[in-house]
DNA sequence: TTAAAAAGTTAGGTTAGTCTAACTTTTATA
DNA sequence: TATAAAAGTTAGACTAACCTAACTTTTTAA
């Protein structure tokens, strides 16, 4: 049985590699994502290596092993099912679900998750548009285009949003950028990397950092 | 914010005092209930004392303070609401709910509990017949008679069952002893403390330990 | 009423997860 | 291609929650 902390490290590795289409990650970026110091991440990586959950050699890059990936994807499945439950059944808004799901994702009970899945009607995406891994551990990695890379003056559909920060999501919501919204990048300003958008017909000006968190098709 | 462990100590103190109609508890019984050594409980009691959650002096008896009680009752409320959710919405049987609720009771989110309460229709008892504290922190302590103290040859109604052990609950279920069942103590055998019962008309022979876990009215 | 038993505490040790400060290895670039 | 910057590691320390072994205080009962 893995601790909550170990599960969080594995989950972070999947976010940094598989979900970005990359094959490995570095100690510093892992530490940063988890909000710990690199030295702390090094210690944990040694432990995860002895448990055969990551492949890793000193000063090298980190890859997740097949058992490590399997476990991480289960945690991600739980996280996204709980987010969906909170949103669909308990009247949570999309900016409120993440924080509570971070706690709920570590509850250990196979039956709980199977039944939750059934109660929700076997959903395939969470409230932010992120795919929910199947009970067999399959995680759909759709090649995602962020608003920062999307073609200019073309209408796109908002497919998903990074869920990590409540404040960000409230802002996203405020400018009318919901899942399914029609969105167009009118122009990019090189001097400050800002993006001029049209969301469902309404103009908005956002930063590059904002644009990188919005996934479109 | 209290750790899961601190919450478990406070909860155990309420189980040992308020729910039994007693005003204080001892280090050893507390340690035993929590499955730790007395030395460990002593350490934690010192910590809870500095946080003003218990009243306590060296070699003395432990009482819970008003803030400590308030917090403990919130945890008990969460535990029993989660048990009810698992039983009512997720097809768990009454012997399966306790273990998972032990994990879920520590999730921190006021909104989560308020919404769960609403989803369940503001229940007043959990699947084992235990009262669910109100959102204001009121815990009904019904004076409870166990089967071991119940009058002989009188028909009683099963009002509740101690929920701690899944195996016990499965056995309780098997002999037909559900909440609301009619139960009569035919005879008690002094030489081995066994109890001869009649449950909904069917005979059964049970131990004293069994009889102490069944609450009747 | 005192001695043994029960209850409770203290001291010192362990593990998990974190930190800082100093160090080493790798990489990128002048 | 040498060296500075970036990336990563090591050593030593801290806290929370647990342990065992030895000790002290309180209670019980002969």
Q: What is the domain range of residue A45?
A: 4-64
Identify the top-confidence range among A131-145, B69-83, B201-215.
Answer: B69-83
CA–CA min distance B77, chain A (Å) = 18
**Residue among A90, A104, A109 minimizing CB distance to B115:** A90
Chain B residues contacting A, CB < 8 Å? 86, 89-92, 96, 99-100, 103-104, 107-109, 111-112, 115-116, 119
Give the residue from A93, A107, A121 with the most B CB atoms within 10 Å of its CB, the best one to mutate.
A107
Query: In the prediction, which pLDDT does A185 show?
Result: 87
Please check whether residue B184 lies inside any domain of the structure: yes
DSSP conformation class of B53: S
CATH label of the domain that carries residue A202: 2.30.30.90
Mean pLDDT, 10 residues at a time, chain A of 217 residues:
97 96 97 98 98 97 98 98 98 94 98 98 94 94 81 84 78 78 86 83 83 85
Please give the structure tokens belonging to residue B17. Answer: 């005092």
Q: How far is the CA of A39 from the C1' of C21 (A)?
A: 11
B124-133 pLDDT, tens digit per residue, is 999 999 999 9
What is the DSSP code string of B129-198? Answer: SPBPPPTT-----PPPEETTTSPBT-EEEEEEE--S-HHHHHHHHHTT--TT-EEEEEEEETTTTEEEEE
Q: Which uninterrupted H or E stretch holds B206?
A: strand B202-206
Q: How far is the CA of A141 from the C1' of C12 (A)?
A: 52
Please check whether residue A211 lies inside any domain of the structure: yes
* Number of domains within chain B: 2
Exposed/middle/buried for residue A23 (C-beta within 10 Å: 0-12, 13-18, 19+): exposed
Please check whether residue B200 lies inside any domain of the structure: yes
CA–CA min distance B180, chain A (Å) = 27
Which of B49, B64, B79 corresponds to the end of one domain?
B64
Please check whether residue B155 lies inside any domain of the structure: yes
pLDDT of B72 over the 80 cut: yes
- Bases of strand D lying below 7 A from some protein CB: 7-12, 16-22, 25-26
Q: How far is the CA of A25 from the C1' of C11 (A)?
A: 45
Q: How far is the CA of B60 from the C1' of D24 (A)?
A: 13
Query: In the prediction, which pLDDT does A154 show?
Result: 83
Please check whether residue A73 lies inside any domain of the structure: no
Which of B39, B64, B89 corresponds to the end of one domain?
B64
Cβ neighbours of B24 (radius 10 Å)? 15
Percent of chain B's residues with pLDDT above 70: 100
B161 touches strand C (CB under 7 A): no
Pairwise pLDDT comparison (B97 vs A216), residue with the higher score:
B97
Which of A22, A43, A64 corresponds to the end of one domain?
A64
Query: In the prediction, which pLDDT does B213 show?
Result: 86
Query: In the prediction, which pLDDT does A143 show?
Result: 78
A123 touches strand D (CB under 7 A): no
CATH label of the domain that carries residue A21: 1.10.10.10
Please check whether residue B33 lies inside any domain of the structure: yes
Q: Which uninterrupted H or E stretch holds B204?
A: strand B202-206
B150-177 pLDDT, tens digit per residue, is 888 888 988 888 877 888 878 878 878 8
B174-191 pLDDT, tens digit per residue, is 878 888 888 988 888 877
CA–CA min distance A103, chain B (Å) = 6
Please check whether residue A20 lies inside any domain of the structure: yes
Query: In the prediction, which pLDDT does B173 show?
Result: 81
B21-70 pLDDT, tens digit per residue, is 999 999 999 999 999 999 999 999 999 999 999 999 999 999 999 999 99
């Amino acid at each position: 049985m893995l601790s909550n902390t170990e599960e969080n490290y594995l989950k972070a590795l999947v976010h940094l590699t598989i979900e970005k289409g990359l094959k490995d990650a570095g100690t510093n970026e892992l530490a940063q994502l988890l909000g710990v110091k690199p030295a702390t991440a090094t210690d944990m990586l040694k432990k995860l290596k002895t448990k055969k959950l990551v492949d890793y050699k000193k000063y090298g890059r980190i890859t997740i092993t097949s058992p490590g990936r399997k476990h991480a994807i289960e945690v991600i499945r739980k996280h996204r099912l709980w987010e969906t439950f909170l949103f669909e059944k308990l009247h949570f808004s999309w900016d409120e679900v993440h924080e509570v799901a971070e706690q709920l994702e570590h509850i250990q009970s196979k039956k709980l998750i199977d039944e939750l899945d059934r109660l929700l009607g076997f959903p395939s995406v969470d409230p932010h548009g992120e795919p929910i891994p199947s009970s067999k551990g399959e995680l759909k990695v759709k090649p995602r285009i962020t608003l920062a890379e999307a073609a200019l003056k073309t209408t796109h559909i908002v497919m998903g949003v990074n869920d990590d920060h409540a404040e960000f999501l409230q802002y996203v919501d405020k400018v009318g950028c919901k899942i399914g919204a029609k969105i167009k990048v009118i122009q990019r300003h090189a001097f400050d990397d800002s993006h001029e958008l049209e969301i469902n017909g309404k103009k908005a000006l956002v930063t590059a950092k904002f644009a990188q968190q919005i996934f479109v098709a």
